[in-house]
Chains A and B, each alone.
Chain A
Amino acid sequence: MSTTNDSPAVEVLGATMTFNRGRANEVVALDPITLTVNAGELVALIGPSGCGKSTLLRLIANLIEPTAGTVRVNGKAASQARLDGDYGMAFQQAGLFEWRTVTRNIELPLELKGWDRTRRRERASEMLDLVRLGDFADHHPWELSGGMQQRVAIARALSFAPKLLLMDEPFGALDEMTREHMQGELGQIRAKTASSIVFVTHSIPEAVFLANRVVVMSARPGQIAAIIDITLGQRDELTREDPAFFAHVTSVREALRGLPASHGAGVDDR
């Protein structure tokens, strides 16, 4: 298949995931999932705990192999995309290396890709400006607040300019104020870098505020229950008070409620 610019960022075709296959504790984490993320799009995955949204993200990242089905990233096999550095990743825990300064944390993927020192320094300082942490270049992670650490993690994920960003509840450990601020920042970063994003979250307003499409998943076995298009246009802080915003929040909530009652647990309305 060609790898032209118009190939989708992510194509998941009938992927299933079964853990502990053939054993007594066999778990079907994902029933056949088919999902396409278009180039430049932000897709949010939302659903109760255990619905397999993180598993789906790990399949796309090629950190695990699907039991059946195929996963393609930028028109290539997921394993090739991982080797080529086609995506960057950010987790709920910032996961910065505490023995490295902020700058050297951002440089980590560049070191692994064999960039020379001058180019690394240059890129790291560009990234620090992007996440507005220029004053903290030589600080160590423990000297930073949770929100600042998460911005460093995002800068690290974006440092080698991947076309795709995979985020697993990146703001899940932050307080509400920081969280809303970070959502705004992510919007601005996205406008500057034009990357595609797959974003796993527990929060309905977060999903609606950020996404072009919200994929609602159900649990045991994990499958897609609904896909909701979000038509809010350009977002800013006023978006959060827009009636259309609430209408979308309501429709995502109803899609989640439409699931059997026991499956609705674990999703925040905040």
Chain B
Amino acid sequence: MWRRAPDMDNRDRRVGDTRMRDAARRTLMFIAALALAAAAWEIYKAVGPDNGGDLLGMHVLPKAENRAMPHIWEMLSRFRHAEVRGSHRTIFDSVASGAWYSFRIALAGLALGTAIGFGLAVFMARFRIVERGLLPWLVVSQTVPLIALAPLVESWGGRLHIGAFTWQPWMSAAIIAAFLAFFPMAVGALRGLSSPPPASVELMASYAAPWRSTLWKLRLPAAVPFLLPAFRLAANAAVVGTVVAEISTGLRGGIGRLVLEYMREATGDPAKVYTAVLGASVMGLAMAALVASTEKLVMRNRRAGAVA
């Protein structure tokens, strides 16, 4: 009585075409957005006041002179220059290796934060009483200023010696990144794990399914549309946490430190600091791209637009 609709076989191909077009459109939009930002920068430079200006009685308009706002092409050409006069190492080399170093720390922090956040969410979903006791403390944890936390983590880690294991300075930065990343994960996962409708929970109960099976076969898959946005937030938090941690613990080798170092030369070479800022942005974009492709992979068998 219900026959397979004739266009079902073409469905996959059509979906493929749409995806290609979507990807092309998104790439174009991205390039357009970059061009727009660059144009806005240059237009402000052309028309803005050289010494900054007042708006409604407050000194808010930035200075448009070359020392405060170098030309875009100035920044880009800086990448080819030697980092230190006479060295073979270009600024590009330094920025790229710094961004890669920070990226790996952020990834470690994201992995740790995701694991901890998810573990806490499972624990809270299992025992309502834990949720009531723990959740307010998680919220409080996010109000602790990172600048205060960084030296503490550094000194605790420094005292840790387990067998052959010695604390590496980068681990402190990863811990701080994880400290920021775990929170959105815990909150999002808790919402997701509690999202199945009562009828589905009753269905599992009618099969006398133990809690573990209900978690694995119902709550976890139902939580996926909630986990993805949480993961996106956690990835952003891990990037921000890494850069801030590098600056406040004085960790060398990462992009955060590079921003700080180039800033000291800003009076003599204002374009240089922007190379590091661009490097940090590219790192953030790489993380966003990684998260987006994870989403695509996880949601490939789901209804379109099912992400909460």
Contact = CB atoms under 8 A, between A and B. Distances in A.
Same complex = yes
Contacts of A108: 207, 217
B302 A95 contact: no
Contact of B224 (A99, A109, A132, A145): A99
Interface in A79-115: 82-83, 85, 87-89, 91-93, 95, 97-100, 108-109, 111-113
Interface residues of B, number: 25
Interface string A204-240: 0000000000000000000000000000000000000
Nearest to A98: B303
Nearest to B206: A89
11 contacts: A61-B206, A91-B199, A93-B197, A93-B199, A95-B197, A95-B200, A97-B218, A99-B224, A99-B302, A109-B207, A132-B2
B2 A111 contact: no
B202 interface: yes
A152 B207 CA distance: 17
Interface of A: 58, 61, 63, 82-83, 85, 87-89, 91-93, 95, 97-100, 108-109, 111-113, 132-133, 135-136, 140, 142, 145, 148, 166
A140 B197 contact: no
Contacts of A133: 2
Interface of B: 1-4, 197, 199-200, 202-209, 213, 217-218, 221-222, 224, 301-303, 306
A85 B199 contact: no
A112 B215 CA distance: 12
Contacts of B303: 98, 140, 142
A197 B197 CA distance: 24
Contacts of B207: 85, 108-109, 112-113
B4 A112 contact: no
A112 B213 contact: yes
B206 A82 contact: yes
B217 A83 contact: no
Contacts of A87: 206
Given A85-B207, A108-B217, A95 B199 contact: yes
Contact of A99 (B2, B202, B221): B221
Nearest to B224: A99
B301 A140 contact: yes
Nearest to B221: A99
A205 to B, nearest CB: 22
A53 B217 CA distance: 29
A57 to B, nearest CB: 11
A145 to B, nearest CB: 8
A96 to B, nearest CB: 9
Contacts of B206: 61, 63, 82, 87-89, 166
A99 B197 CA distance: 15
Contact of B3 (A88, A95, A135): A135
Closest 5 CB pairs of A and B: A89-B206, A99-B221, A95-B199, A91-B199, A83-B208
Contacts of A166: 206
B205 A63 contact: yes
A223 B119 CA distance: 46
A98 to B, nearest CB: 6
Contacts of A98: 302-303, 306
- Most B CB within 10 A of own CB, among A99, A100, A135, A166: A99
Contacts of B205: 63, 82
Contact of A89 (B4, B203, B218, B306): B203
A95 B203 contact: yes
Contacts of A89: 202-203, 206
A270 to B, nearest CB: 23
A99 B221 CA distance: 7
Given A82-B205, A132-B2, 6 more contacts: A61-B202, A93-B197, A98-B302, A99-B224, A135-B2, A140-B301
A83 B209 CA distance: 9
Contacts of A85: 207-208
B8 to A, nearest CB: 9
Contacts of A142: 303
A170 to B, nearest CB: 12
Given A89-B206, A135-B3, A97 B221 contact: yes
A75 to B, nearest CB: 18
Contacts of B200: 95, 97
A93 B301 CA distance: 22
Given A91-B199, A93-B199, A95-B199, A112 B217 contact: yes
A88 B207 CA distance: 8
B303 to A, nearest CB: 5
A148 B200 CA distance: 18
A88 B221 CA distance: 23
B217 A63 contact: no
A61 B202 CA distance: 10
A238 B207 CA distance: 38
A61 B197 CA distance: 18
A69 B209 CA distance: 26
A112 B210 CA distance: 9
Contacts of A95: 197, 199-200, 203
